[in-house]
Structure 1
Amino acid sequence: MKDILRVHTGRVKEVVDLTDRIESLISRAQIADGLCTVFVTHTTAAVTTGEIGEGTEQDFLEVAEQIIPRIRFRHLHDPSHAWSHMAASLLGPSLTIPVSGGKLILGTWQSIMLVEFDGPREREVHVAVIPA
C-alpha cells in the first residue's frame, strides 16, 4: 500500500502530528503486520517521532534552534532559509515503524511528527506499508 499525505503547515516552524492519519491509512489497507515507511519529499522539513502536547512541540523547536547555530551560510540560492535545510537534514526525511495487529508500534507518548522549518507550505509525505 502506498499513499501521499498532503500536509498544510501554518507557521514558519511547526510540528504536525501525523499519527492518526497514518494509522487510518493502515486500517483502510487492512494490513495486519509489516513495516510502515514515512518519507517527506522536501529539504526544509523532516519527520521524526516524539511526544506531542503540553508544549513539547515548542520545546522541540526551541531545542532545534539551540543545536544548530546561526552561521554565515554559504547557501547561494536563498541564505535566509539555509538554517532550515541544516535542521531538516539533521533530523532526516524518513522513518520506518513496525506495524502489528493493524497498528503502528509506538511507545505510550510517541507520535509521528512532521517538523516544518520553512513554512507555511504544503508538504507531501509519502507513506508505504509493506506487509510482513
Structure 2
Amino acid sequence: MPEILRVNTSHLKQVVDLTDPVEALIRKAQMREGLCSLFITHTTAALTTGEIGEGTELDLLEVVEQMIPKIQFRHAHDPSHAWSHMAASLLGPSLTIPVSAGQLALGTWQSVLLVELDGPRERDVHVTLMPS
C-alpha cells in the first residue's frame, strides 16, 4: 500500500526537495534494496530529479516556463494557468528510483524534486516501495 507525502507549497511556482522525506519512508520500511515509485496526483505539478541550490531550482522554473509557447490557450476553466497543465504534462507525474543499501540511488548532486506550477497548494505524492 502506498504512503502519501502531503506537501504544502508556499509559492505560485516553486521547487520542493522531497529527497529527505522519501528516504525517511525507506528507512521506516526498513527496505535495503528495490525500487521506489513516486506519483503526484495533480495536473499542475510534476516530479523530476535535479540539482537544488545555488539558484538551479529557479533556473529550472524559468526553463519550464519558457518551454511553453505563448499561445491563446483554449482551457475553458482558467486560461491563465493553462500553461501549468502543459508544463506538468511535459515534466511528468512520476519517477521510479532504485534503492540501494537503504538509500535512493541518486547521483552526487541529484535530488527528488516536486515542481509546483500553480500554487500555493497542498500536493499529494504517492510513494510505493517495492523491495527486491
* 3-state SS of 2:106 partner: coil
Task: Measure the CA separation in 2 of the matches of 1:70 and 1:8.
Answer: 28
Matched, 1:38 2:16: no
Between 1:19-28 and 1:65-74, the stretch displaced more is 65-74
* 3-state SS of 1:76 partner: coil
CA drift of 1:66 comes to: 1.4
Q: Which residue of 2 is the match for residue 59 of structure 1? A: 59
Count of paired positions: 132
Report percent identity of matched pairs: 72
CA drift of 1:2 comes to: 2.2
CA drift of 1:6 comes to: 0.4
Task: Measure the CA separation in 2 of the matches of 1:93 and 1:52.
Answer: 19
Q: Which residue of 2 is the match for residue 108 of structure 1? A: 108
Matched, 1:99 2:113: no
Q: What TM-score comes out, normalization by structure 2 length?
A: 0.98
Task: Measure the CA separation in 2 of the matches of 1:42 and 1:2.
Answer: 16
* 3-state SS of 2:6 partner: strand
Task: Measure the CA separation in 2 of the matches of 1:74 and 1:120.
Answer: 23
Task: Measure the CA separation in 2 of the matches of 1:65 and 1:93.
Answer: 17
* 3-state SS of 2:75 partner: coil
Task: Measure the CA separation in 2 of the matches of 1:80 and 1:66.
Answer: 15
Alignment of 1:73-88 (within 5 A): 73-88=73-88
Q: What TM-score comes out, normalization by structure 1 length?
A: 0.98
CA drift of 1:14 comes to: 0.2
Gaps of 5+ in 1: none
RMSD (Å), alpha carbons: 0.7
Task: Measure the CA separation in 2 of the matches of 1:26 and 1:67.
Answer: 34
Between 1:116-125 and 1:76-85, the stretch displaced more is 76-85
Runs of 4+ displaced beyond 2 Å:
none
* 3-state SS of 1:27 partner: helix
